[in-house]
Chains A and B, each alone.
Chain A
């Protein structure tokens, strides 16, 4: 379907919507992590887009960084060094993991991006943490207002929350299509749809999603049937790995990724003070593993497994990603023992170096499930 192609093409910092936005003299802000409260940025008529790196080997970044560093965070830094993010008016990091936090130092010292901001996202969701985060968001708002000369009113915030929630609901409807067998959208298509939602204004994305949901009813070129898999991990900035899985008869029907379901699964409460509602949403969402509790994420995986009728789970950890790597054996054990599910844990590099070996292992896992 043509609309699917459109989504794929939007995953670029030079897409037509970003250009159009810049054309109207409105700022674009890159962000590093799914804990960035995008609604606040958007409410100030600033376009938040996610920095997703690329598949190229990070040659420039290698001058500054050794090998034992998260290849995703490294690759984003590399793109910044190369000047690929010249359209960005600033870059925001939100206290996610050590790799991101420390590489943020290098962004400040070594790249041409001059407006940078660090949001101190707490690592727990207690009442104290929410109160603190609220203050932190107020400070962030002040920074945005001053740096970009914009206004962020309560009314703007309410509108932004409405639009973002709508996007989340629509994305959930897209995921619904994957419950069928064969699924009505493939894993790589679904990932591309979610990734594209991070790269254009959400109201525009909503329009596209509505078209997709309508057209999909009549879809004829359905994705292949295959072994129904859930993929768990951190970021995937493109769909190459999913395509690889699909090329060896895997059918990714669900995920636990920070560029997948963890990005949009939870809504923001639409009553009461907006900033407080945003603070709550981000701290109480399906957590990434740098948060105090892993249990909630494990629970999410178990639920996804049931909802999407999953037959096997692939857990991907990017090499040198501490937080996911610590969780991987625990999550695997829990799924094997409590859910009786086959699980395979794999390490990978964001640039997909060593892909041949990865393919062999994934294929072997799928073959085992086919038996």
Chain B
């Protein structure tokens, strides 16, 4: 079965990812402030302050795609970091301990590190460790856990208030370190762009509801970069507009990403960054991933007239910050809306959030939608325990059970 490539995504790495690292490295040389930012931190603040964000998680996935992540993980393990930790920090910390021939000249060093507790303990601990290594300050946004998986509207006011007051304190600290005041007008503009990018990203997802779906996971896991890393920029909006236009054309012409679409899948958590060929392989079996939970956790509209409050609401109700019901509802919703007939639940060895509860997710999603799921015990970055043959056999067997 032949596979269609999207024009907009041609040369993605060369055109968008590479320059990103070049800019960050250059910024360092020019003495601009560089910040390490963990996902689920409201990066709009960083962008609005003209601080250069660097994403250690992205860097780890890049190292995996280039197949250098394992030797880097091993370097960290030799320094005493457990093999059972998330492979992202193992890979990135390893790269700091005399890693050689690092992709893109290594991860740009930070002047400051910012993270939130939204997603995992790993962010907190990883950045703490890095802050000790670099002897640079680490600022934390301590986000209350959303144990009811409640909509932001239903959370107690003091939850929102807690987020907002921390954000205010954190901004003054950033101002102190950078010597740049946060320009309210610029923040408003950044939030507007972020909301716009988010809308467009959701529109892109909408096109994927069509049968045949015009875009799969391979493209989504690249294109999500803008909404994840630089949502509040013209570049993000521009890219998504072009992608929308292309998808619209395809949908009009009834062109799908695979010619003969047999299976429509929802993909949870992360891809195997070191084996992105997995997706073309699935396509060769007539299976297209129509939705990823990963593509649906970074969206959310922001109200520029209430910047901090709307950031608080967005992040407090991020699925990564929620009890399991949030995940179950999201996946069941995706199955319904995207007319999926299968769900892949890859775990991630060192990530408790992506590992604990998969059995419950599987059971509940089946009850709610009638669709069965396949749990794959894998790791996104560390391939040492990866048995390609076994995983492919599992996938093939699973696909055959789908109707």
Contact = CB atoms under 8 A, between A and B. Distances in A.
B80 A345 contact: yes
Nearest first, the 3 closest Cβ-Cβ pairs linking A and B are A329-B80, A326-B125, A102-B356
Contact of B356 (A105, A323, A330): A105
A67 B142 CA distance: 29
B85 A120 contact: no
Interface string B113-144: 00001001110111011001000000010101
Interface stretch (B7-15, B31-39, B243-251, B345-353): B345-353
A322 B121 CA distance: 7
Contacts of B82: 317, 319, 325, 328, 347
A301 to B, nearest CB: 16
A289 interface: yes
Interface in B126-165: 126, 128-129, 132, 140, 142, 144-145, 147, 156, 158-159, 161-162, 165
Interface in B82-113: 82, 84-86, 89
Given A64-B359, A68-B84, A327 B144 contact: no
Nearest to B322: A105
B169 interface: yes
B172 interface: no
Nearest to A320: B84
Q: Which of the listed residues B80, B120, B359 has the most CB atoms from chain A within 10 Å of its own CB? A: B80
21 contacts: A64-B359, A68-B350, A69-B352, A69-B355, A97-B121, A98-B121, A99-B352, A102-B324, A102-B352, A106-B356, A122-B144, A124-B142, A129-B142, A135-B158, A136-B158, A290-B124, A292-B140, A320-B350, A322-B125, A322-B352, A326-B129
Nearest to B361: A105
Given A68-B350, A105-B357, A329 B79 contact: yes
Contacts of A118: 145, 147
A118 B322 CA distance: 12
A118 B325 CA distance: 15
A332 interface: yes
Interface string A315-347: 001011011011111101000000000000101
B356 A109 contact: no
Contacts of A216: none
Contacts of B165: 128
B80 A123 contact: no
A354 interface: no
Contacts of A135: 156, 158
Contacts, number: 130
A326 B132 CA distance: 12
B323 interface: yes
A289 B125 contact: yes
Given A292-B124, A325-B81, A123 B140 contact: yes
B360 interface: yes
A98 B120 contact: yes
Interface residues of A, number: 51
A120 B350 CA distance: 24
B269 interface: no
B22 interface: no
A105 B352 contact: no
B166 interface: yes
Nearest to A292: B140
Contact of B142 (A97, A110, A123): A123
Contacts of A327: 125
Interface in A52-104: 63-66, 68-70, 95, 97-99, 101-104
A132 B132 CA distance: 28
A294 interface: yes
A273 to B, nearest CB: 17
A132 B357 contact: no
Nearest to A93: B147
Interface residues of B, number: 44
B360 A106 contact: yes
Nearest to A327: B125
Interface of A: 63-66, 68-70, 95, 97-99, 101-106, 108-110, 118, 120, 122-124, 126, 128-129, 131-132, 135-136, 139, 289-290, 292, 294, 317, 319-320, 322-323, 325-330, 332, 345, 347
Nearest to B82: A325
A103 B358 CA distance: 11
Contact of B80 (A68, A99, A323, A332): A332
B124 A123 contact: yes
Contacts of A136: 144, 158
Contact of A326 (B128, B158, B161, B323): B128
A128 B129 contact: no
B4 to A, nearest CB: 37
B149 to A, nearest CB: 10
Contacts of B126: 326
Contacts of A128: 162, 165-166, 169
B377 interface: yes
B73 to A, nearest CB: 14
Contacts of B117: 123
Contacts of A65: 356, 359
A336 B132 CA distance: 16
A296 to B, nearest CB: 12
A318 B323 CA distance: 24
Interface in B372-402: 377
B6 to A, nearest CB: 36
Contact of B355 (A66, A328, A332): A66
Nearest to B352: A98
A328 B125 CA distance: 11
Contacts of A69: 352, 355-356
Contacts of B140: 123-124, 292
Contacts of B81: 325-326, 329
Contacts of B357: 102, 105-106
Contacts of A129: 142, 162
Contacts of A97: 121
B352 to A, nearest CB: 4
Contacts of A123: 117, 124, 140, 142
B156 A66 contact: no
Interface in B301-335: 323-324
Given A97-B121, A98-B121, A290-B124, A322 B356 contact: no
Contacts of A122: 142, 144, 162
Given A128-B169, A326-B85, A347-B84, 16 more contacts: A65-B356, A66-B377, A68-B84, A70-B352, A98-B121, A99-B356, A102-B355, A104-B147, A123-B140, A128-B162, A135-B156, A290-B121, A292-B128, A320-B350, A325-B81, A328-B82
